[in-house]
């Protein structure tokens, strides 16, 4: 029996005790990449007809030097591949070599603003330059950390801005940066397109300006 808000008793099993949210600390923890495929231990049996790549994308690094991201969406993209073949599974992962990742790594500090984190002005600038930098237009990030998408047989990683990266599934390295806005009049698009059986892709973008 569990107490109700009015002091009466409820039937056992109808009201569950509130225990709070589970810790989300593991979700915002920086991890190392695994660039070479490693053999995993399979518990149970994988059906013989299941073969291929299971792909996942998400944040994997949350700090550079003494600076850290404030939101889970902001972590640098890490690409994961579970290769399933003949009942065995190998795993590998790589950080997406985006411009944001490279700039942050080179300076060992957050240089590119993300969804919930504003990059601080360059400390090498003088006081007046740092003040003016607060009014500069924020450039969209190319940290494509949300999803894998497929267009015309090729695989890309994408986010909600106008950038995505083509990925080679053999080594999980990015080979081409694509700017949507050069082909379609949008400033950004969702990272979750829908597909028709004939291969046609559908997505929703946005275009905004002064009017």
Annotated binding site for Fe cation: 192
From residue 55, give the alpha-carbon distance in Å to each of 1, 44, 52, 83.
45, 21, 10, 9
* 201-202 and 194-195 strand pairing: antiparallel
Q: Which residues are annotated as a binding site?
A: 192
From residue 98, give the alpha-carbon distance in Å to each of 136, 160, 194.
22, 15, 25
Closest alpha carbon to 97 in 211, 176, 210: 176
C-alpha–C-alpha distance, residues 195 and 183, integer Å:
20
């Amino acid at each position: 029996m569990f107490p109700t808000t009015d002091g009466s008793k409820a039937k056992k099993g109808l009201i569950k005790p509130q225990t709070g949210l589970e810790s989300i600390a593991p979700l915002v923890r920086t991890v190392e990449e695994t660039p070479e495929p490693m053999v995993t231990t399979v518990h149970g049996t994988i059906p013989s007809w299941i073969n291929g790549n299971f792909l996942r994308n998400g944040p994997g690094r949350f700090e550079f030097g003494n600076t850290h991201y404030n939101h889970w969406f902001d972590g640098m993209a890490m690409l994961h591949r579970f290769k399933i073949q003949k009942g065995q599974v190998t795993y590998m992962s790589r950080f997406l070599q985006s411009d944001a990742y490279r700039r942050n790594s080179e300076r060992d500090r957050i240089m590119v603003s993300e969804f919930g984190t504003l990059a601080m002005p360059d400390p090498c600038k003088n006081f007046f330059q740092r003040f003016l930098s607060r009014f500069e237009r924020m450039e969209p990030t190319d940290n494509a950390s949300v999803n894998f998408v497929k267009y015309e047989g090729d695989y890309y990683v994408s986010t909600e801005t106008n950038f995505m990266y083509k990925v080679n599934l053999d080594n999980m390295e990015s080979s081409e940066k694509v700017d949507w806005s050069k082909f379609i009049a949008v400033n950004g698009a969702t990272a979750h397109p829908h597909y028709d059986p004939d291969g046609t892709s559908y997505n929703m973008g946005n275009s905004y300006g002064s009017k």
